[in-house]
Structure 1
């Protein structure tokens, strides 16, 4: 059996209304990350502004000690939802399957309302970035069914850990 490799993961809540006290989604992700044995490298809340989102995320992508980023919020269709526009240009490679699988699982939970989710993921500088909707339920769906497994070095047949640990060997 392969020993688990633990990662440094940053959590970003994207919201115009959430504060540290009301950020249930961000708090859930922090707890889920640490329960899985990983370390929280940073946690921030940023308003839903393309350039502020990119500024925080770009700094984390450049940090060789951060291997993964999970964002929550800004993936819908309302006027200020801009996570996909902010993040997709930062990706070296898009992980198209993430959004597809998230919506497929979510379909069973919330029905066709899942079509309004623009969840996405990608790789940038050997950092995997998962962008999920802002509800705590959506964060649980994404973490429990997809993200946790893909950040587990023992998960087979494949996971992202090998790509992320390349940062350590650069």
Structure 2
């Protein structure tokens, strides 16, 4: 018998930022960024900021720091740059910024990914945590990975996590 946590029945609308990290995507070709926004909007969350940044550590860090100063933003979801290619630097930037990590997010994401893409899942450095009272998720750039993370992990827990973070 499967045991699930008690349902969170609150209908809080969170303010979110979405960032795509890519050297090649444009607003027209950014399927993963659009998916993040669609999933959040479907759950009545608001998109306060959306942008595409090149995989340049200084720009990624600067933009996260700027968004984290926005008092209305609760959550920032990034996609792209979580692999191990030389240009994949998102994880490295996020890891340095996070004040608290949620190791279970990356672990569960890789477990669920393994069920879909087998051992290739080990190359993902998806991560999550808290930076300046903002919940941060960093996902691979693949639209399948984004859908998996949003459906199975982020949307079911995002309101609960923000409530926990804010105390």
Structure 1 residue 62: Cα displacement: 1.5
Q: For residues 150 and 69 of structure 1, what CA distance do their matches in structure 2 show?
A: 14
TM-score by length of 1: 0.90
Is 2:10 the partner of 1:9? no
SS in 1 for 2:97: coil
Give the counterpart of 1:26 among 13, 33, 36: 33
Checking the alignment, whether the CA contact within 8 Å between 1:33 and 1:40 is kept in structure 2 is yes
Give the counterpart of 1:86 among 88, 93, 110: 93
Checking the alignment, whether the CA contact within 8 Å between 2:135 and 2:162 is kept in structure 1 is no
| Structure 2 residue runs without a partner (length 5+) | 1-7
Is 2:125 the partner of 1:124? no
Give the counterpart of 2:112 among 74, 92, 105: 105
Please name the residue that 1:161 is paired with: 162
Structure 1 residue 88: Cα displacement: 1.2
- CA RMSD between the two structures: 1.2
Structure 1 residue 165: Cα displacement: 4.5
| Structure 1 residue runs without a partner (length 5+) | 153-158
Checking the alignment, whether the CA contact within 8 Å between 1:92 and 1:124 is kept in structure 2 is yes
1:119-155 alpha-carbon deviations (Å, 9 max, x no partner)? 0111011111000000000000100000001113xxx
Number of corresponding residues: 160
1:30-65 alpha-carbon deviations (Å, 9 max, x no partner)? 111100110001000000011100111111112111
Checking the alignment, whether the CA contact within 8 Å between 1:16 and 1:46 is kept in structure 2 is yes
Q: For residues 82 and 12 of structure 1, what CA distance do their matches in structure 2 show?
A: 14
Q: For residues 117 and 153 of structure 2, what CA distance do their matches in structure 1 show?
A: 17
1:42-81 equivalent positions in 2, closer than 5 A: 42-81=49-88
Q: 1:127 to 1:163 in 2, by over 3 A?
A: farther
